[in-house]
Amino acid sequence: MKISIIGSGYVGTITAACFADVGHEVICVDIDEKKVQQINAGIPSIYEEGLEELLKKYVGKRLIATTDNELAVFNTDISFICVGTPSEVGGSINLSIVRSATESIGSALAKKNGYHVVVVKSTVIPETTEKFVLPILEEKSGKVAGKDFGIAMNPEFLREGKAIYDFMHPDKIVVGSIDASSEDLVSELYLNFECEITRTNPKTAEMIKYANNSFLATKISLSNEIGNICKKMGIDTYDVMKAVGKDSRISPLFLNSGAGFGGSCFPKDVRALISKAKEIGYSPTILESVLAVNENQPLMMAELLQKKIGEFKDKKIAVLGLAFKNDTDDIRESRAIPLITELLRLGAKVSAYDPLAAENMRRVFPTVRYHKSAKEALKGADACLVVTEWEEFKKLDSEFEVMKNRIVIDGRRVIKAKSIDYEGLCW
């Protein structure tokens, strides 16, 4: 089938590369000329394992990128909206990017003959597809939804760092449509995926995504809370949660306590659901607590360190790990951000290392010193804080010898070195 992807960021590029890999013809659209040029040169604008190989394989064959929205809509049967839905100050999602992408598709549809389906893949609050996207498309195209064009909502569940694998081997595919024609066309795209398709209406599809992320975020914050209690009682929370995870109703995943969750989805999506719940007159106590625990976890690392070294003023503190998780260069809502903010506020000099994310973090904290290796960042440091679960941190050992004081607070239970003054965040 012929697909256009409107918004070629994280989700858009992965979706485009994977659909090309299963045989579809794909046109990527972005307003960012540089991204378009990069994709056409086979270079992804984000790091994701396997993505560059896929782009190089299909660019110019069955994948191209353009800034020309009309060209993309005219030459495809389905358009996916994959633009960002950032948080507003109060937590609700900002739909201005979805609006402008939808307006462009609607204007192109006005000039296109034949049936076309528009699919929302961006994470949007229930009812957005039908009450926001649909009317804009009808207004701009002068056409009627369900007759002249179709609409569906197809949320994305990929994990950054494992995005290609997750897209190709999904646990679930959800297609929420306004009618059978849209549903059938979108479902056809996933014909060769070994996964049952959940067919539903758009607002249920939208809510499935929020419920899913809220559940996972809750699992993490609950594990962190159990970890905080365990630490005070001298119980190893990892032993506890390993046994808890053997319960088939719970599963062993997302039970590692530590510095908390970040990324472009969990914090934003939980905030958005809280905001919507309040708007409709419900007070979401559990979801608010999930965020409160998550905000406090990185600050507890600073508190633990203060107990060991006293005031931070002019002390050199090495922060290992800046990405919100391992295997990505994405720093959005990384737990390193509130932690470094606190260290700087208290007068520390921060030296940092991350295998992939340093350049992105430089834009947030230009005064932090970024290094090319953990050892360089650790040199002469009064203490070290470990924030991201990078595989290479598990092998660190003699590198700690260059520190002034070998004090290490581990926020992810990754450090295995022996001859250090080690303390785990929740263990």
- Per CB under 6 A, 7 contacts ligand NAD: yes
Question: Of all helices (H) and strands (E), which one includes residue 5?
Answer: strand 2-6
Position among 16, 117, 137, 265 found at the interface with ligand NAD (CB under 6 A): 265
Residue recorded with tokens 């270079």: 43
Cα distances from 20 to residues 15, 122, 170, in angstroms, run 8, 19, 17
- Per CB under 6 A, 284 contacts ligand NAD: no
**To the nearest whole angstrom, how small is the minimum distance from the Cβ of residue 69 to ligand NAD?**
7
Catalytic residue among 18, 28, 82, 265: 265
Radius of gyration of the chain from its Cα atoms, rounded to whole angstroms? 23
Position among 156, 327, 389, 399 found at the interface with ligand NAD (CB under 6 A): 156
- Per CB under 6 A, 333 contacts ligand NAD: no
- Per CB under 6 A, 97 contacts ligand NAD: yes
Binding map of ligand NAD across residues 157-196, x = CB under 6 A, - = no contact: -x-x------------------------------------
Position among 129, 264, 294, 360 found at the interface with ligand NAD (CB under 6 A): 264
**To the nearest whole angstrom, how small is the minimum distance from the Cβ of residue 423 to ligand NAD?**
32
Query: How many helices (DSSP H) and strands (DSSP E) are in the chain?
Result: 16, 14
- Per CB under 6 A, 211 contacts ligand NAD: no
- Per CB under 6 A, 100 contacts ligand NAD: yes
- Per CB under 6 A, 108 contacts ligand NAD: no
Please indicate whether residue 426 is annotated as part of the active site: no
- Per CB under 6 A, 30 contacts ligand NAD: yes
Closest residue to ligand NAD, based on beta-carbon distance: 9
Residue recorded with tokens 């070195």: 417
Stretch of 82-90, 131-139, 194-202, 356-364 lying at the interface with ligand NAD (CB under 6 A): 82-90
Alpha carbon distance 204, 315 (integer Å): 52
> Cβ distance 208 to 397 under 8 Å?
no
Closest by CA position to 322, among listed 373, 360, 281, 265? 360
**To the nearest whole angstrom, how small is the minimum distance from the Cβ of residue 32 to ligand NAD?**
4
Site size toward ligand NAD, by CB under 6 A? 27
- Per CB under 6 A, 150 contacts ligand NAD: no
Alpha carbon distance 395, 416 (integer Å): 7
**To the nearest whole angstrom, how small is the minimum distance from the Cβ of residue 13 to ligand NAD?**
8
Tokens of 254: 């997302």
- Kindly tell me which of 101 and 317 has the beta carbon lying closer to ligand NAD: 101
The count of other CB atoms within 10 Å of the CB of residue 143 is 16
> Cβ distance 137 to 73 under 8 Å?
no
214-245 in b/e form (b: 16+ CB < 10 A) is: bebbbbbbbbbbbbbebbeeeeebbebbeeeb
Chain-centroid distance, C-alpha 10:
9
Angle of helix 51-58 relative to helix 10-21, nearest 10 degrees? 60
Active-site residues, by number, are 265
Residues in touch with ligand NAD (CB under 6 A): 6-12, 29-32, 35, 82-85, 97, 100-101, 104, 122-123, 156, 158, 160, 264-265
